[in-house]
């Protein structure tokens, strides 16, 4: 009886390894799958669905940030305060350079549909940096890991105030009274769980570190639910009808250009400031990222009652995929170069 050829499992193993090196994990494909599912059956995840998506996702988000706080060491945050020039560059890039670049291209988006598309790009640009991806990429590239943890954590906390402030001022989502309400909602859903987690870090932080792989799967599952329900509402209301494949292709190219410009700004700035190689790496991977977690959570609060949440999240999802793909390739290339330099020095 002929035996099965080992070529097939070997090929699948090589393909899986290739996807892993490129940053294409199950979450990346899950994002594509939930958008497709939302397109095929939008009624299941919309507001008209009998499933209580709102309470489910709200509770899930609170747990995400509680677990994030649980893994956040106060001692590491205190130690990270010393490298203030690195922190200043990362945060100014995240909340200054990105929004200014979006404002610079605003004249190119004339018309109601294009104005809505620009608003979604601007929303991406005022989001905080991602936490886990930044730290992982800095670790792969051989950068300043404590500095990465500090900046990613501080960016998340600053975003609770700066993101709604930028949105309110530029996109005119409401006056100071509404802004205060949004900040309060974000504090209750994001900041309070983080603070509770930090307070319990000494007691349960080791447990959270031991189970961080499983907790990351939980985080990503909640984000998939948020993305799914957002796109269901948008598809059911037909908000994508004004955007053809050409427009979406140009948007994707625009995200590539945005990443490239920010990358160049950070590299040039860090060299002018005389950063070490490790700090340059940290500035690059922390300052060029945007958080899909914060984007999905804040969109529900900042744009409550609108059916266009899916459109608002589209540039964020494209940029998220791009930053994983490009940053993974760049991080591994830098890591190999750092390792080779260390070997020559030894």
Cβ neighbours for 84, distance < 8 A, ≥ 6 positions apart: none
Give me the percent of the chain exceeding a pLDDT of 70. Answer: 77
For residues 92 and 210, what is the distance between their CA atoms, to the nearest angstrom? 34
Query: How many domains is the chain built from?
Result: 1
The answer to whether position 12 is within a domain reads no
pLDDT of the residue at 94: 96
User: What b/e sequence results for 276-311 when a residue is b if at least 16 CB atoms lie within 10 Å of its CB, and e otherwise?
Assistant: ebbbbbbbbbbbbbbbbbbbbbbbbbbbeeebbbbb
Per-residue pLDDT band at 36 (split at 50, 70, 90): confident
pLDDT of the residue at 270: 95
Residue 20 has pLDDT above 80, yes or no: no
Residue 122 has pLDDT above 70, yes or no: yes
Contact 98, 126 (CB under 8 A): yes
pLDDT of the residue at 21: 54
Number of other CB atoms surrounding residue 111 within 10 Å: 10
Per-residue pLDDT band at 5 (split at 50, 70, 90): very low
Q: Among the residues of the chain, which ranges form H helices? A: 7-21, 26-40, 53-70, 74-80, 84-92, 98-104, 112-125, 132-141, 145-171, 176-186, 192-199, 201-210, 212-237, 245-272, 277-287, 292-302, 309-345
Contact 299, 123 (CB under 8 A): yes
pLDDT of the residue at 110: 76
Cβ neighbours for 136, distance < 8 A, ≥ 6 positions apart: none
Tokens of 233: 């509402």
Task: Please tell me which residue, 260 or 224, carries the higher pLDDT value.
Answer: 260
Look up the domain containing 266 and give its range: 51-336
Per-residue pLDDT band at 327 (split at 50, 70, 90): confident
Residue 24 has pLDDT above 60, yes or no: no
Residue 111: which region, alpha, beta or left (left: phi > 0; alpha: psi -120 to 50)? left
Model confidence pLDDT, tens digit, residues 146-164: 788 788 778 888 888 899 8
Residue 25 has pLDDT above 80, yes or no: no
Half-sphere exposure of 13 (CA within 13 A, CB side): 5
Task: Please tell me which residue, 17 or 29, carries the higher pLDDT value.
Answer: 29
Number of other CB atoms surrounding residue 42 within 10 Å: 22
Top mean-pLDDT range of 22-26, 231-235, 248-252, 270-274: 270-274
The answer to whether position 10 is within a domain reads no
Task: Please tell me which residue, 24 or 29, carries the higher pLDDT value.
Answer: 29
Residue 3 has pLDDT above 70, yes or no: no
Task: Please state whether the predicted TM-score (pTM) of the whole model is above 0.75.
Answer: no
Residue 206 has pLDDT above 70, yes or no: yes
The answer to whether position 55 is within a domain reads yes
The answer to whether position 35 is within a domain reads no
Residue 4 has pLDDT above 50, yes or no: no
Task: Please tell me which residue, 17 or 345, carries the higher pLDDT value.
Answer: 345
The answer to whether position 343 is within a domain reads no
Contact 166, 126 (CB under 8 A): yes
State the chain's mean pLDDT as an integer: 78
Tokens of 251: 């948007």
Give the CATH number of the domain where residue 139 resides. Answer: 1.20.1530.20
Per-residue pLDDT band at 102 (split at 50, 70, 90): very high
Task: Please tell me which residue, 262 or 215, carries the higher pLDDT value.
Answer: 262
The answer to whether position 341 is within a domain reads no
Number of other CB atoms surrounding residue 7 within 10 Å: 8
The answer to whether position 326 is within a domain reads yes
pLDDT of the residue at 307: 52
The answer to whether position 1 is within a domain reads no
Number of other CB atoms surrounding residue 312 within 10 Å: 27
Tokens of 161: 């105030």
């Amino acid at each position: 009886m002929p035996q099965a050829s080992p070529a097939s499992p070997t090929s699948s193993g090589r393909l899986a390894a290739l996807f892993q090196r490129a940053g294409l994990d199950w979450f990346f494909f899950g994002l594509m799958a939930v958008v497709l599912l939302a397109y095929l059956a939008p009624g299941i995840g919309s507001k008209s669905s009998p499933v209580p998506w709102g309470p489910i996702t709200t509770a899930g988000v609170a747990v995400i940030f509680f677990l994030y706080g649980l893994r956040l060491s106060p001692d590491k945050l205190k130690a990270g305060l010393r490298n203030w020039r690195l922190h200043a560059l990362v945060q100014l890039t995240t909340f200054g350079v990105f929004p200014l670049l979006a404002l610079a291209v605003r004249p190119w988006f004339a018309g109601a549909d294009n104005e809505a598309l620009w608003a979604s790009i601007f929303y991406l640009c005022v989001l905080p940096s991602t936490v886990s991806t930044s730290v992982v990429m800095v670790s792969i590239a051989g950068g300043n890991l404590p500095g990465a943890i500090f900046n990613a954590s501080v960016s998340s906390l600053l975003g609770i105030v700066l993101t709604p402030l930028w949105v309110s001022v530029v996109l005119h989502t409401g006056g100071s009274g509404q802004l205060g309400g949004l900040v309060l909602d974000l504090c209750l859903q994001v900041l309070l769980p983080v603070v509770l987690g930090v307070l319990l870090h000494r007691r349960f932080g080791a447990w959270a570190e031991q189970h961080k792989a499983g907790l990351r799967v939980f985080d990503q599952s909640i984000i998939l639910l948020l993305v799914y329900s957002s796109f269901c509402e948008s598809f059911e209301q037909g908000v994508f009808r004004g955007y053809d494949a050409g427009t979406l292709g140009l948007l994707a190219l625009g995200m590539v250009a945005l990443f490239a410009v920010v990358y160049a700004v950070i590299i040039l700035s860090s060299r002018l400031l005389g950063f070490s190689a490790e700090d340059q790496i940290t500035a690059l991977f922390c300052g060029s990222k945007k958080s899909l977690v914060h984007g999905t959570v804040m969109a529900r609060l900042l744009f409550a009652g609108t059916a266009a949440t899916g459109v608002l999240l589209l540039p964020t999802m494209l940029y998220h995929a791009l930053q994983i793909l490009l940053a993974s390739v760049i991080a591994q290339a830098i890591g190999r170069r750092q390792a080779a330099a260390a070997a020559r020095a030894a």
